[in-house]
Chains A and B, each alone.
Chain A
Amino acid sequence: GAGVSQSPSNKVTEKGKDVELRCDPISGHTALYWYRQSLGQGLEFLIYFQGNSAPDKSGLPSDRFSAERTGGSVSTLTIQRTQQEDSAVYLCASSPLAGVTDTQYFGPGTRLTVL
């Protein structure tokens, strides 16, 4: 079956521009997560959606970052006024259950480069 998909796979933008990154989770998965991975580093949690509940935004690094999940499915991560330190691979994951830490299924990521 279809896995988690993300688009675009690569995005190059100029400092100060806004970008939108998209995630299509596995159909039926309740939970959706966004992580960020800087070069050579582990994954940094950004935000977590659980069904129709309010998202856990505790990992967002600044108010320039926001995310939404429409209809409990597709999610968009928006970065406003991008900075060079935003350059990273942005990974989305989904899992079947909410509120339970279980296997997460990752998309291929979006590599963001801010010039």
Chain B
Amino acid sequence: SQQGEEDPQALSIQEGENATMNCSYKTSINNLQWYRQNSGRGLVHLILIRSNEREKHSGRLRVTLDTSKKSSSLLITASRAADTASYFCATDAGGGSQGNLIFGKGTKLSVKP
């Protein structure tokens, strides 16, 4: 069953602008991850934030997590055309979950040069 819901489904911006994507989930979690997918093929892990963390940075990426609202956001600053891809949030099922990730449907980001 689907755990995460990304918002918006699609986002189109100009190079240099910031892109913000949001994710909501339904159950308690141990951590939340963001992945990137180019052209419908393999996913690349971007960042993992644990349930006791509120914010995390990695290069041009900033992720926030609000467990009270069961939501997360991914901010890409100073976007580049090469950032064009689909972005997915993924969560575990919480508690003693066995490890498989539950993905949302993704946000399709288009960065125009």
B partners with A: yes
Q: Is A1 an interface residue (CB 8 A)?
A: no
Provided the pairs A101-B30, A101-B31 are in contact, do residues A45 and B44 lie with their beta carbons within 8 angstroms? no
Interface size on A, residues (CB 8 A): 33
- Which chain A residues lie closer than 8 Å to B102 at the CB level? 45
Given contacts A43-B103, A45-B100, A50-B98, are A102 and B40 in contact (CB under 8 A)? no
Flag if A42 contacts B99 (CB, 8 Å).
Answer: no
B58 within 8 A of A: no
Complex alpha-carbon distance, A33 and B42, angstroms: 13
When each residue 86-112 of chain A gets 1 if its CB lies under 8 Å from chain B and 0 otherwise, what string results?
A: 000101010100111111111111010
> In the assembly, what is the distance between CA of A93 and CA of B103, in Å?
14
What is the CB-to-nearest-CB distance from A60 to chain B, in angstroms, rounded to a whole number? 12
Contacts of A108 on B, CB cut-off 8 Å?
Answer: 41-42
Residues of B within 8 A of A101 (CB): 30-31, 92, 97, 99-101
Also in contact, A89 and B99, with CB within 8 A (given A42-B2, A42-B88, A102-B48): no
Contacts of B78 in A (CB 8 A): none
Asked whether B99 lies within 8 Å of A43 as measured between CB atoms, the reply is no
| Interface 1/0 per residue, B14-32 and A, CB below 8 Å | 0000000000000000110
Residue B112 is within 8 A (CB to CB) of chain A in the complex: no
A103 & B45 in contact (Cβ 8 Å cutoff): yes
Q: Which residue, A42, A44, A98, A111, has most C-beta atoms of chain B within 10 A?
A: A42
B14 → chain A, closest Cβ, in Å?
24
Contacts of B43 in A (CB 8 A): 43, 91, 93, 104, 106
Could you list 10 further interchain pairs (A-B, Cβ under 8 angstroms) beyond the known A42-B103, A56-B98, A108-B42? A42-B4, A43-B103, A45-B102, A99-B98, A101-B31, A102-B31, A103-B45, A104-B43, A106-B42, A106-B44
